[in-house]
Structure 1
């Protein structure tokens, strides 16, 4: 209860502060009242959804997710506005003190707020405010197909031109628009790849979240099949269960569901992709992540049936696994495919110019392709969304990788 009181108090103080900028820029009282009403409505909805209206057994239901998204939007607007006003208030305080001590002023008075600065604060704050709203409305389904060509000296010749489509982080429990998801699944199939690889987090928490989408994702098809691994959310670790048996049953149901959809689920296992007498090894590990995430991945077990000299593609949900265990491993993993970060669903990307997201402070490899010692990793930005029900600047991704043999290019 104390945390709620502190949170509400801070929210209201920020709102009162931001209201001063609005009052400085307009004389119309209805604008003040509209801002107050909207601010209180967002706060009230958030408090309701996360207390009285909380849906049992789920971390973030759709109503809770949107309540969080709207609160984040409003807080961002207020914080940016307050940052400008606070800076100005420091100047006003110093100017008032100077006039009192060294000037002719008999009483201490603060200079009036400058309308120009308040307008600037509101204008700048409106940009992320609008972007976050648009991210919830359109950005989360703004699918992008990102294409890469990767060249290797030791790629078997028969696999020159071999095409892989990677998707990751479906998070089906967050979906709220079937038409958009149907479009995205069709977009994956349109790539006509030799193999489709899914790198984990099919659900947010429970297998039942995927039931409405089972038949749709069952239409994913590729010449050599659809392969998958588990992500940290697939184990059901983030919701309470009545018994350990119920949690274990949920995981088994998720594994069965993937197989029913035609996914070849790799649980610390390997498969060979064959072209004539040539082959490449496809390895899939269970989730392994540093920083408190589940560590069920076992590289040694997953590679027990393959040769050290094979060309290898590894599917591992969490990119932190790459530097921690994959690179130092005795085997050379030519390509690792991961997801997990979502690119934080927020950032700025201008190809060839800038790629930035706050998630870079948590993960060194957070989006796109990285290389170390001749070993590569691609971190997919994710197919779905979680928490904030939108995306800004970091769009949902379908990755298409074409393998090339250097001597044949």
Structure 2
């Protein structure tokens, strides 16, 4: 722990130092530099104090989200600025070394003076994450996108050719602060006119009471002809706070499971059901949360008991690492898995059809959108809500509409 703290403060110190060097190049008035240093010190003390006051018995609150968002707005731009200044220093060291070895102008200082242009460029680049984070907090987190995905399966029962599924995931209702925007998202869900709607977990951040103000809003999701089903996500288990007793933790867990019923979604916890259309059927399978870095509660064998590999199966499993480690190799052949969990880290770059990047890809092999292996698919929803950082930059909240098609092409 001490080593981690030491590394953290060394990095923080370097960021502050290089940021100050940029401003010192641009600001000639000493009073302005002193004011900057004083504000930086006060902010650092405030952030350290806020972290020290975090209560693990409560978990995330509106205040902690504000503090984290503010910290990102302060230090991410400074980090960009520091990288620019550090890069300049590499060139200064290189140039100084060449001059020294060549024995040019003995009276010339080893380090060339900093260039004003580089500092200006650094500030310009730093403004990009700053403005993006501000946008993410005030607009991005409710910039809902309906993403439509058509997937072809050679063995899809003919009756289900064109069957439409709406998927939502990672609601995190305890983070919401704008009923008008959430009602707008519910309207978007209803406009899709899908055959079935699936919710792949994380209805709250931690406590069941977080969802109570939003029950009526989510009850506006209209009836779907072939049902409304859900599974649990990692946050639904209350694992991220310290509870006074196991009894209280269990009571909260039971209350969270009841929430899904209160918004008319049927939980499938390590079990399956059949969706019948005409004289044909497909299996809808739901497992408890299974995560590579979480408790492995999902029991795929139990959930699919009685099914064989020839049955067409759709699996709901909150964490896509389950597909990566287990599902895609399972002998029973799960055709399509629907997951969420990653949120795409709520920060990244996406140019649909061309490019997508997020820090999430360094943690999860499947982190946003559709992935395939030997005819088995997983779709990772980018999340409906937000958590920790009260915003979204580049990776927008998602309502997915998947159309099942019989055939061999993927569009």
What is aligned with 2:179? 178
Residues in 1 aligned to 2:345 and 2:7: alpha-carbon distance in whole angstroms: 27
Instruction: Tell me if 1:263 matches 2:265.
Output: yes
Unpaired runs of 5+ residues, structure 2, are none
Residues in 1 aligned to 2:196 and 2:303: alpha-carbon distance in whole angstroms: 19
Cα 1:333/1:28, change in 2 over 3 Å = same
What is aligned with 2:346? 345
Would the aligned equivalents of 1:382 and 1:396 in 2 still touch at CA under 8 Å? yes
Residues in 2 aligned to 1:39 and 1:266: alpha-carbon distance in whole angstroms: 50
Would the aligned equivalents of 2:324 and 2:365 in 1 still touch at CA under 8 Å? no
Would the aligned equivalents of 1:229 and 1:316 in 2 still touch at CA under 8 Å? yes
What is aligned with 1:245? 247
Unpaired runs of 5+ residues, structure 1, are none
Instruction: Tell me if 1:226 matches 2:222.
Output: no
- The SS at the match of 1:21 is helix
Instruction: Tell me if 1:211 matches 2:212.
Output: yes
Question: What displacement does 1:287 show?
Answer: 0.5
Residues in 2 aligned to 1:38 and 1:138: alpha-carbon distance in whole angstroms: 28
Map Cα deviations across residues 67-92 of structure 1 (whole Å, 9 max, x no partner). 11221232221122122222323433
Would the aligned equivalents of 2:14 and 2:82 in 1 still touch at CA under 8 Å? no
Mapping for residues 331-370 of structure 1, pairs under 5 Å: 331-370=332-371
What is aligned with 2:195? 194
Instruction: Tell me if 1:295 matches 2:296.
Output: yes
What is aligned with 1:69? 69
Deviates more, 1:301-310 or 1:104-113: 104-113
Cα 1:404/1:34, change in 2 over 3 Å = farther
State the TM-score, normalized to the length of structure 2: 0.91
- The SS at the match of 2:302 is helix
Would the aligned equivalents of 2:165 and 2:402 in 1 still touch at CA under 8 Å? yes
Question: What displacement does 1:266 show?
Answer: 0.6
What is aligned with 1:155? 156
What is aligned with 2:277? 275
Residues in 2 aligned to 1:186 and 1:309: alpha-carbon distance in whole angstroms: 37
Question: What displacement does 1:297 show?
Answer: 0.5
Question: What displacement does 1:202 show?
Answer: 1.0
Cα 1:44/1:177, change in 2 over 3 Å = farther
Instruction: Tell me if 1:286 matches 2:309.
Output: no
Cα 1:115/1:192, change in 2 over 3 Å = same
Question: What displacement does 1:273 show?
Answer: 1.2
Question: What displacement does 1:406 show?
Answer: 2.8
What is aligned with 1:140? 141
Map Cα deviations across residues 181-236 of structure 1 (whole Å, 9 max, x no partner). 11112211111111110001111111111111122112222222211001111101
Residues in 1 aligned to 2:301 and 2:357: alpha-carbon distance in whole angstroms: 35
Cα 1:97/1:284, change in 2 over 3 Å = closer
Question: What displacement does 1:366 show?
Answer: 0.8
Question: What displacement does 1:401 show?
Answer: 0.6
- The SS at the match of 2:240 is coil
State the TM-score, normalized to the length of structure 1: 0.91
Question: What displacement does 1:111 show?
Answer: 2.6
Cα 1:246/1:89, change in 2 over 3 Å = same
